[in-house]
């Protein structure tokens, strides 16, 4: 099931989007959906990475060297 939402765009972005839609015969909605779908995973990854960095900075988590991981997994032969 699809949900509907509304966004506000700067005038220049709106005009560019409308021009692209007119030139290609696609709808502005198509390009908005495509942009969101292509970039949402990247934004999620950035958010998760920032959370990990914050935990590292607070000393709540630690990193492991490659040697430590190999030793733990028995790959240090």
pLDDT value of position 76: 82
3-43 pLDDT tens trace: 999 999 999 999 999 999 999 999 999 999 999 999 999 99
pLDDT value of position 33: 96
User: What is the C-alpha separation between 55 and 61, in angstroms, rounded?
Assistant: 6
Evaluate if residue 65 carries a pLDDT over 80.
yes
pLDDT band at 1 (very low <50, low <70, confident <90, very high): confident
User: What is the C-alpha separation between 28 and 13, in angstroms, rounded?
Assistant: 11
Evaluate if residue 77 carries a pLDDT over 80.
no
The domain spans of the chain are 11-72
């Amino acid at each position: 099931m699809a949900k509907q939402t509304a966004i506000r765009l700067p005038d220049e972005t709106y005009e560019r989007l409308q021009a692209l839609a007119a030139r290609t015969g696609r709808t502005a909605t198509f390009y908005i959906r495509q942009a969101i779908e292509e970039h949402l995973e990247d934004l999620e990854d950035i958010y998760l990475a920032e959370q990990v960095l914050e935990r590292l900075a607070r000393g709540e988590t630690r990193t492991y060297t490659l040697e430590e991981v190999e030793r733990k997994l028995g790959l240090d032969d």
